[in-house]
Structure 1
Amino acid sequence: MKRLHVLIRAALAHLLALALLAGAMAPAAAQKAPARESQQALIERGKYLAQAGDCIACHTVPAGNIFAGNRAMPTPFGTLYAPNITPDIKTGIGSWSADDFFRMMRTGRAKNGDLLYPAMPFASFTKVTRADSDAIYAYLRSVPAVRQASRKHELRFPYNNRSLLVGWRTLYFKEGEYVPDKGKSVEWNRGAYLVQGLGHCAMCHTPINALGGSSSAREFQGGLIPMQNWYAPSLTSNKEAGLGTWEIQDIVDLLQKGVSQRGTVYGPMAEVTYNSLQHMTDADVRAMAVYLKSLPADRPVNADPASAPARANIGQMHAQGKRVYDLHCASCHGGDGRGMPPHYPPLKDNQSITMTSSVNPIRMVLNGGYPPGTRRNPMPYGMPPFAHAMSDGDVAAVVTYIRTAWGNRGTPVAAGEVSALRAATVE
């Protein structure tokens, strides 16, 4: 009996020792295990990513319920309407699973298998990781559900036949997640992921052909935004029409602040800055700038000094343009075209002024505009419209002047170009 008692005590002591050992090891094991992201943190990260993707721009009618859809998107093929992506079961994505949402992001197919029209930038969103897709899904599930049926698209025949999208996808869609370049820095890869993926910058800043597609060979070389009559400038290192002479900080300021020492955002880009880029972290915006600054130069535009005088047509139109400029423009932009940045942008060596297309400076003279009010520039300075005060000839002359003065190498502008834009803007 005594021996049995000794054995029991020994066994109990051994069990106690094991328990103490396990207790001592538990904290260390817990420290090694990755911490699971809380649901609230996931939602907040998803909100940030949804802002990076500027989802609100298409899926929210101005002054309407967020993400309730039905915002019209005019295209050369007819009008598309963005769908409701609130968590409403019947009219939104309330019945979608995270898998359904990711499949849509990666493949450009709706839950029911329908091919999406490429106004939805799935050609860029395909690069988004599963983790980021799940975070965006979690955020969209957290916003107020809105019972609002999505309007049917109003596309002309034959573009209303979704089966034609198979051919478009064959030509212009390459499915697959972004693959980091091991030869580049972490910062560069982060910028590339944001610019190529959620930012879908190439969608506007790449020339678009008659089929609504774009060539990867001309990516980021700039292009006219269909139906909007704005030209998205080149983001390449082209010194004449791109970012070749820009400092990283100038790019950061333009993206995040809306104004910089080199230029100011107006038109569609102002909306991107307001809805999206101003909300992004300094690190992410800088990463985007680092990536953009690294893009190779495309073919120079208007870079032949010998032909500049012939293109400039510095005759009567140039003299008329200078008179108009001195009267209406010099007080802000300076007689030397250097402006007073960041509030009054320079016109000398301003790529948006001298690039091949003259649509942007014509629109600014006609309609004026304001950069967006942002956290870093809450009270922006604007430019008044001059459509009421200038004839088409005056506008053509002053735009020709700013495109050719101070060493600028832009081409002259005809009054007919002004007339066409004036009519399109009124419509």
Structure 2
Amino acid sequence: MKRKSLFALSAVVVVAAAALVPVLWSGSDYLHNGTAVAATPADQAALIKKGEYLARAGDCIACHTVRGGKEFSGGLPMATPFGTLFTPNITPDDQYGIGKWSQDDFYRAMHTGRSKDGSLLYPAFPFTSYTKVSRADSDAIYAYLRSVPPVAVPSRPHELKFPFNNRNLLIGWRTLFFREGEYKPDPTKSVEWNRGAYLIEGLGHCGMCHTSINAMGGPVNSAAFAGGLIPLQNWYAPSLTSNKEAGLGDWDIKDISDLLKNGVSQRGAVFGPMAEVVHNSLQYMTDEDVRAMSTYLKTIPQKSEAPEHLQLETSEQFGGELLKQGQKIYADNCAKCHADNGLGMPPSFPPLANNQSIQMPSAVNPIRMVLNGGYPPSTGGNPKPYGMPPFAQALSNQEVAAVVTYIRQSWGNHGTAVSPQQVSDLRSAPLD
């Protein structure tokens, strides 16, 4: 249950997330072949339904289903700096899936990052977050996965470079970067806040995108949630700890909730891979869970900033030339939707003025949006989203750099100028 390709992010704002519905075993439940079974068919049906909700919360389908393939049959390639991982089959097929896994086996994988045979799992599977998930919620997900149709598709072997294909190396990685343990509520915070913290830090595994990773593939914990460039994705996951980026301290709870649930709000919209997260997962969360997540996100404290990635700089003189050129390009191509004053027409066309994601130190996301365009997700609250057309074929590298420079430096925005070389580098980047 891993978010697609080390998990991707919004071009305009914010978060991957998740939710839960607590499931408690009653004293009348019993074991059948080592597997807990609810006392009555109605109890089992309710358990499966809650497990389906939780699987949605974890966005399991995004990683364990190839486009056009059978649900949860695996095989999705996940590119990493160390080689390509392929997601496993998690249907209840006895030979190729988890049909012979017990409830304890499944919880061990979630909680400790170990497979049924005890082998260490690679951390592209976010067990560093899933360890916080309660046993009751793990059992519910297990019950749901046992209820889906089995698919006899073998899992494809990973294609990792030497020495990363040696799982024994994971012992050192785990010593440095993994702390096992379920989420412990903070007694000084409200029930709603703790619910949101559990969702964001557990099944949501938001930190896997919004925390930079080091050369060993481990999170820079001193800068948790402080943002960073996602390796091989060429999308920037903005900081959730700084109001200069995607920190939400000055957002209304309603705007945060709208963004998570619908993909659009009065303050912005999600694009790129984050749109998939909203489409596959967040739109199905209850209003109460989304509000809990919003409450927690709004209070994430300021932390150390993420390590800065190299970004090509332009001279002051050339930056001024780009700004002037970009003004005309904006008037010809962008003002019709985003308005001459950059205020847009939210929620259909997000504002560019005073938009943190436009003026962040990293210009990766606005460059990619101009080059590739995109749509917010189609959701129940926004079934017919307005999209942005791609300009990669219409504008040169310098013209893209010029218009992005213009929107980063106009209407009170305080971004820096963009280099045409950076546009060139991103033009050839993969789209997902």
Asked if these proteins are the same fold (TM beyond 0.5), I'd say: yes
Amino acid paired to 2:193: W
Other-structure match for 1:411: 416
Where in structure 1 are there 5+ consecutive unaligned residues?
A: 1-31, 302-309
Other-structure match for 2:21: none
TM-superposed CA distance for 1:237, in Å, is 4.6
In the alignment of these two chains, the number of paired residues is 389
Q: Secondary structure at the match of 2:255?
A: helix
Residue 269 in 1 paired to residue 274 in 2? Answer: yes
Per-residue CA shift, 1:100-149, capped at 9, x if unaligned?
00011100000011111110000000000000000000000000000000
Other-structure match for 1:162: 167
Moved more, 37-46 or 190-199: 37-46
**Identity fraction in percent:** 65
Q: Is the 8 A contact 1:373 1:379 kept in 2?
A: yes
Q: Is the 8 A contact 2:111 2:180 kept in 1?
A: yes
Other-structure match for 1:111: 116
Amino acid paired to 1:245: D
Amino acid paired to 2:366: P
Distance 1:109 1:181 in 2: 28
Amino acid paired to 1:218: A
Amino acid paired to 1:292: L
2:229 to 224, 227, 250: 224
TM-superposed CA distance for 1:63, in Å, is 1.7
Per-residue CA shift, 1:355-395, capped at 9, x if unaligned?
11111101100010001100111100000000110000000
Q: Is the 8 A contact 2:224 2:303 kept in 1?
A: no
Where in structure 2 are there 5+ consecutive unaligned residues?
A: 1-26, 30-37, 307-314
Distance 1:240 1:361 in 2: 13
Residue 179 in 1 paired to residue 213 in 2? Answer: no
Larger relative helix fraction: 1
Q: Structure 2-normalised TM-score? A: 0.87
Q: Secondary structure at the match of 2:84?
A: strand
Larger radius of gyration: 1
Structure 2 CA distance for partners of 1:142 and 1:33, relative to 1, 3 Å = closer
Distance 2:268 2:174 in 1: 36
Higher relative contact order (CA 8 A, sep 6+): 2
Distance 1:267 1:240 in 2: 17
Distance 2:152 2:95 in 1: 7
TM-superposed CA distance for 1:241, in Å, is 4.6
1:100 to 87, 100, 105: 105
Structure 2 CA distance for partners of 1:192 and 1:241, relative to 1, 3 Å = closer
Structure 2 CA distance for partners of 1:298 and 1:354, relative to 1, 3 Å = farther
Q: Is the 8 A contact 2:337 2:345 kept in 1?
A: yes
Structure 2 CA distance for partners of 1:190 and 1:117, relative to 1, 3 Å = same
Q: Secondary structure at the match of 2:229?
A: strand
Q: Is the 8 A contact 1:237 1:294 kept in 2?
A: no
Other-structure match for 2:425: 420
Residue 387 in 1 paired to residue 392 in 2? Answer: yes
Per-residue CA shift, 1:40-78, capped at 9, x if unaligned?
000000000010011111100012110000001011111
TM-superposed CA distance for 1:426, in Å, is 7.4
TM-superposed CA distance for 1:299, in Å, is 5.6
Moved more, 398-407 or 213-222: 213-222
Distance 2:151 2:317 in 1: 55
Amino acid paired to 2:347: P
Other-structure match for 1:50: 55
Distance 1:273 1:292 in 2: 16
1:296 to 285, 295, 301: 301
Other-structure match for 2:347: 342
Distance 2:163 2:135 in 1: 35
Distance 1:411 1:114 in 2: 48
TM-superposed CA distance for 1:352, in Å, is 1.4
Residue 319 in 1 paired to residue 324 in 2? Answer: yes
Q: Secondary structure at the match of 2:383?
A: coil
